[in-house]
Amino acid sequence: MSLPIPRFFHQAPTLPGFGLSFGISTLYLSLVILLPISALLLYVSDLTWMEYWRAISDPRVVASYGVTLRAALYSSLAALLIGLLLAWIITRYDFPGRRLVDALVDLPFALPTSVAGLTLAFLLIPEGWIGQWLGFKVSYAFPGIVVAMTFTSLPFVVRTVQPVLLELGSELEEAAHTLGASRLQTFWHVILPMLVPALITGGAQSFVRSLGEFGAVVMIAGNMPFQTEVSSLMIFVRLSEFDYPAAAAIASVVLLASLLLLFTLQVVQSRVLRWQRKK
Amino acid sequence: MKKPNSWQQWLLIGLGLALVALILLVPLVLIFTRALAGGWDLLVQNLAEDYMQHALMLTILVAIATVPINLVFGICLAWCVTRYDFRGRRLLSTLIDIPYAVSPVVAGLCYLVIYGVEGFIGQWFYERDIQLMFAWPGIIMVTVFVTAPYVARILIPTMQSQGAEEETAALTLGANGWQIFRHVTLPNIKWALLYGVVVTNARAVGEFGAVSVVSGTIMNQTLTLPLLVEQLNNDYKTAAAFTAAALLACMALLTLFLKTFMEWRQRQALAKAAAA
């Protein structure tokens, strides 16, 4: 006699513990992640459209969207370039200090963001160790935000590109080389196309991370209204004015934007992978 | 991997090393130089301050409370997602990525809205004299949210690549669920699990955005070390701010060391499994 397989399973479970692990996982996800997020959206839905629109279209808030998006874009590009270079030298060349570089790449991830912001700010003030060599203002100005965001998102690029480069090996390069391709041609036509999915993932992750970055940015940005205020800080400003509805309204915009990015990224990733496999 | 053999390759390496020095090494050196700038005595004196001791204890408490919760959850989710094939499996592993994507400040606000005095759950607790937000329970709750994905995200690829053959074999030999987990799964995922703990701990200790929303920044009550760094800097107590920063930097360096060590051990374990 065979029991009917419930349609919920694509394949009947053999190992015990499904109920326990599935139960704990879904309970936890609902309580810790879904409930608070829906509570925020519910809270925002109490506002009238007028109030909502006024909160999210306040000129100061709109300026903060611009600052955040621009800084996140520049810093993701910078993190992509630097990250690709670091991942390349770590995986390809054997040089003194390679292991140290490999370990240090995770520093921005392990170092609390407020410490990172404080330190970068002190390095980049006009009389700071690095700031004295620069001809323009970095700390407490827009470039400071870009530096802070680049710092915090650097590991994301390196750690997504690195495994792909490792797996690629150097056979393809050598093959291209024996066929007469120059190093630059090999990189441009052979290696870079293979790296596209990893670069998209790494770039998108650093972009999302930069959009939400708070600790490092507030310590270095100077936080001037209309100039160096990021959206996360605007939420904070509204909170300290005890204007919870406005804070929640701005937060809902940031939240929906980042969730949209997350899901778009997943779709793009699977598309790119399929496209690459077909090629 | 090969020795670099042309000047272009050396140039690339030099450029990379220069960037690493500028972006990663110099900041580290600055932290410790500034912390020691006033001499050893001042450093010890700053460390002995009440607010510093309190912030340190609170930060440790948050980490101790957060890590086990996310450890248990991470194992359950990874087991569930990698050992069974069911409807909604993909959804579960997407949902766990949400804390990565959500800005910590937004996360803090979400918790404030529901568990604050005016929120419908917060009110229930408030009537029973339990304050969640602007107190240590709130700090732990948001930290749990922010660090939720790490253990699961590290375990899932490891458990996927190992497959369920060994567990199934144990099952046919008559082991029960707990025995399978304890004697088959756990030894296989040991290093990945410890690695997850280290990463979760680092994030829990260092979380700033979400905690600053729900903490209310009350000196000697709800200031964790990262918040203390900002507070002291705002009060122009730079030396003390860098003292707290140096403590956190030590934690970060220890994290990097343990992480490197565990990755190495895990690679070894995988290589051994592949050879056997």
Domain ranges of chain B: 30-275
Question: Does residue A133 sit at the B interface (CB-CB below 8 Å)?
Answer: no
Render pLDDT for B71-86 as a digit per residue (tens, 0 to 9): 999 999 999 999 998 8
Residues A15, B4: C-beta atoms closer than 8 Å: no
Return the structure tokens found at B121: 């759950």
Q: For this complex, say whether ipTM is above 0.85.
A: yes
Longest dimension (CA), chain A: 82
Residues A101, B17: C-beta atoms closer than 8 Å: yes
Is domain A61-232 annotated with CATH 3.40.50.2300?
no
Render pLDDT for A110-148 as a digit per residue (tens, 0 to 9): 999 999 999 999 999 998 999 898 888 989 999 999 999
- Chain B residues whose CB is inside 8 A of the A233 CB are 105
Is domain B30-275 annotated with CATH 1.10.3720.10?
yes
Between A260-264, A267-271, B50-54, B224-228, the lowest mean confidence (pLDDT) is in A267-271
Element housing A9 (H / E): strand A9-11
**A195-198 LR contacts (CB < 8 Å, sep 24+):** A195/A84, A195/A161, A195/A164, A195/A165, A196/A272, A196/A276, A197/A164, A197/A269, A197/A272, A197/A273, A197/A276, A198/A160, A198/A161, A198/A163, A198/A164
Residues 6+ apart with CB under 8 A from A118: A219, B229, B230, B233, B241, B242, B245
Give the residue among B172, B155, B149, B190 at the shortest CA–CA distance from B80. Answer: B155
Q: What is the pLDDT of residue A191?
A: 85
Reported confidence tier of residue A2, pLDDT bands at 50, 70, 90: low
Residues 6+ apart with CB under 8 A from A16: B171, B176, B177, B180
Return the structure tokens found at B137: 């329970």
Q: What is the least distance, in Å, from the CA of B45 to any CA of chain A?
A: 20
Reported confidence tier of residue A3, pLDDT bands at 50, 70, 90: low
**Prediction pTM value:** 0.91
Q: CB-based burial of residue A69 (10 Å sphere; 0-12 exposed, 13-18 middle, 19+ buried)?
A: middle
Cβ-nearest to A211 among B103, B207, B242: B103
